[in-house]
Amino acid sequence: MELLPMNAAPGVGERADAAADAACHLYDAVAPWAAGGPGGWSRTAAEDAAETIETTAHALARIHPRAEVILAPVHAALAELRRHLALAPADPLSADEVPATPPTVGNPRRTRWVRVHAQPGPLTRSGSSVSPAPPAPPAPRRPPSRTTP
C-alpha cells in the first residue's frame, strides 16, 4: 500500500474539500424527496451530477498507476445510468488526454491487444524473420465536458 503525502499540490486539497462539501449539500437537497419518483432531479441536474462524478474519477485516476483500472467500474456504472435516464453519453477522451495507464478492463480482445502489441519485441510466427506491423490502437477516451454554463 502506497502512502500519500501529507500536503496536496496547490489548489488540490481546497478543491477536493469544496467538491466533498458540494456533494453533501446535493445529497441534503435530494434526500427529502420521495424515493418513488425522480427525487427532485431534472435532466440537466442529473447530467451535471454524472459529469461531476466522471470528472472527479478522471482526476482521481492520476493518484496511482492502477487507479484508472480500479475506477473503471465507476465509469461503467455511470454509462449505464446515463442509458437508463436517456442522457447523452459521456464525451470520449481526446488524443492529447490519453490516460497514463493502458486499458486493462472491458473487452478481453482489446485487453489482449494491449498486452500483445504494446510490448516491445518481435511479434513473429515461428519460421518467419519479418515482424508484422501491429494494428492501430483503440481510440482514446476524453474527460467529460460541461454541457451547462
Closest Cα to residue 143, out of 90, 103, 102? Answer: 90
Terminal-to-terminal C-alpha distance of the chain: 40
Closest Cα to residue 137, out of 97, 87, 93, 103? Answer: 103
Examine residue 124 and state whether it is found in any structural domain, yes or no: no
pLDDT at 119: 47
Examine residue 61 and state whether it is found in any structural domain, yes or no: yes
Examine residue 121 and state whether it is found in any structural domain, yes or no: no
pTM passes above 0.85: no
Express as a percent the part of the chain with pLDDT over 90.
Answer: 40
Examine residue 91 and state whether it is found in any structural domain, yes or no: yes
Examine residue 77 and state whether it is found in any structural domain, yes or no: yes
> What is the arithmetic mean of pLDDT over 7-26?
92
Examine residue 30 and state whether it is found in any structural domain, yes or no: no
Total of domains in the chain: 1
pLDDT at 34: 64
pLDDT at 12: 92
- The domain in which residue 89 lies consists of 44-115
Examine residue 139 and state whether it is found in any structural domain, yes or no: no
pLDDT at 138: 63
Query: Tell me: the pLDDT tens digits for 77-116?
Result: 999 999 999 998 987 765 455 444 444 455 555 444 444 4
Query: Tell me: the pLDDT tens digits for 27-38?
Result: 888 887 766 677
> What is the arithmetic mean of pLDDT over 30-49?
82
Q: How far apart are CA 12 and CA 72, in angstroms?
A: 22
Examine residue 17 and state whether it is found in any structural domain, yes or no: no
pLDDT at 5: 84
52 or 103: which carries more pLDDT confidence? 52
